């Protein structure tokens, strides 16, 4: 068979929120109850890479995650993202641009086998293969990088002339936090006010180059699958937590302004203060949920104690914090710090959290890295 095959590969890193997204006001469109802000990582350790291929000989859309096929069932998230991108391809390119590439395929009717058909690319089934180079669904933001890579690879396949913010509208419908992985550096997800979600998108606060000294150390406390998924956890919190309502109205709007100002001024002390406060409050609303949700474990809490003590000494000496912990929906710690403190903090962690067989190379344990390009 001689059919034109189109293929594109894209890769996206995880992002780790400093101001946490927790709660949906629309569960289908994935519209959040508050804005959030994150840092996109650059390290090769925490990335999803996705290849999409359109081939007229395929019978339907299919997707494999780490080699295992996942069902694409409408109106699920995967099906929604794929359908949205096909729609954009149709609207933005094929309807307007006559020169848009079309797929030339063999006729499907044997009698006309020599006739070639011209098919619009948006109607051709796609096969998608996605790989995470780190544990999936262990609170390491795999859905964020996964949906960002999926959307980016289909956007490349369809040659969509869309900005990252426009693509973030689609990635958001796969997994809320995925919208922020369309950008590198420091990224805000503006919650938006419209019911159709068209203003609930990611915007760049500052590029990576603005503050290249910023580093994130990922301490993998456990890479087991997490207990309560973010989807069901959020739903329960929205239904039962009074503290969440206080957070949405009175806390997050102020913190969004504070952290944006801290990033713009490269004020690590202010960045660290608000990042840790927001991690604490996110875990407090999880605890305030009925029944309560615990994402951190004893090791997570011991790492908090270590960073608090490390900062206490730093504040005594210089008046400023040197590290910030943050935890998502799992026990793994992310420690933000500036380049000059990375070695010291890794050595501290290795000292206070010795491993039974010892660390061969402590730096191997940390999927740490500078802030990424997205």
Q: Give the interface with ligand PMV as residue ranges (CB under 6 A).
A: 17, 20-22, 36, 143-144, 175-177, 230-231, 328-329
Cβ 143 to ligand PMV, closest distance in Å?
5
Residue closer to ligand PMV by CB (options 22, 325) is 22
CB atoms within 10 A of CB 42: 21
Cβ 327 to ligand PMV, closest distance in Å?
8
Smallest Cα–Cα separation from 148: which of 165, 124, 160?
165
Smallest Cα–Cα separation from 325: which of 9, 15, 17?
17
Assigned token pair, 297: 């474990």
The Cα-based distances of 63 to 28, 55, 78, 313, 347 in angstroms read 21, 14, 9, 50, 41
Cβ 30 to ligand PMV, closest distance in Å?
8
Ramachandran sector of residue 319 (left: φ over 0; alpha: ψ -120 to 50; beta: rest): left
Counting beta carbons within 10 angstroms of the beta carbon of residue 319, is it exposed (0 to 12), middle (13 to 18) or buried (19 or more)?
exposed
Residue closer to ligand PMV by CB (options 281, 370) is 281
Q: What is the DSSP string of 101-116?
A: --EEEE-SSGGGTTSE
Residue closer to ligand PMV by CB (options 107, 280) is 280
Residue closer to ligand PMV by CB (options 10, 138) is 138
Cβ 329 to ligand PMV, closest distance in Å?
4
Cβ 246 to ligand PMV, closest distance in Å?
18
Residue closer to ligand PMV by CB (options 143, 275) is 143
């Amino acid at each position: 068979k001689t059919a034109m095959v189109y293929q594109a590969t894209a890769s996206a890193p995880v992002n780790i929120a400093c101001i946490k997204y927790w709660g949906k006001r629309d569960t289908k469109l994935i519209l959040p109850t508050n804005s959030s802000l994150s840092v996109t990582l650059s390290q090769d350790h925490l990335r999803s890479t996705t290849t999409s291929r359109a081939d007229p000989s395929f019978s339907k859309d299919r997707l494999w995650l780490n080699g295992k096929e996942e069902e694409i069932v409408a109106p699920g998230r995967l099906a929604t993202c794929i359908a949205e991108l096909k729609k954009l391809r149709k609207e933005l390119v094929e309807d307007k641009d006559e020169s848009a590439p079309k797929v030339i395929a063999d006729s499907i009717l044997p009698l006309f086998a020599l006739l070639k058909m011209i098919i619009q690319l948006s109607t051709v089934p796609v096969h998608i293969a996605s790989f995470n180079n780190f544990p999936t669904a262990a609170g390491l933001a795999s859905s964020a990088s996964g949906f960002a890579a999926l959307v980016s690879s289909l956007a490349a396949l369809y040659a969509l002339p869309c900005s990252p913010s426009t693509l973030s509208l689609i990635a958001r419908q796969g997994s809320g936090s995925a919208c922020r992985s369309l950008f590198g550096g420091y990224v805000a997800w503006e919650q938006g006010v419209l019911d159709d979600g068209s203003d609930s998108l990611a915007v760049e606060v500052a590029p990576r180059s603005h503050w290249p000294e910023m580093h994130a150390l990922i301490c993998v406390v456990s890479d087991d699958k997490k207990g309560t998924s973010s989807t069901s956890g959020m739903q329960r919190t929205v239904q039962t937590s009074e503290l969440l309502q206080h957070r949405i109205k009175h806390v997050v709007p102020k913190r969004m302004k504070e952290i944006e100002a801290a990033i713009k001024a490269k004020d690590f002390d202010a960045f660290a203060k608000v990042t840790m406060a927001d991690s604490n409050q996110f875990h407090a609303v999880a605890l305030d949920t009925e029944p309560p949700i615990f994402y951190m474990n004893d090791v997570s809490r011991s790492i908090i104690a270590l960073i608090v003590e490390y900062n206490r000494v730093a504040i005594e000496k210089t008046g400023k914090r040197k590290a910030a912990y943050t935890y998502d929906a799992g026990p793994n710690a992310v420690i933000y710090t500036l380049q000059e403190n990375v070695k010291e903090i890794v050595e501290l962690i290795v000292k206070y959290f010795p491993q039974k067989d010892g660390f061969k190379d402590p730096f191997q344990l940390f999927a740490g890295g500078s802030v990424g390009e997205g």
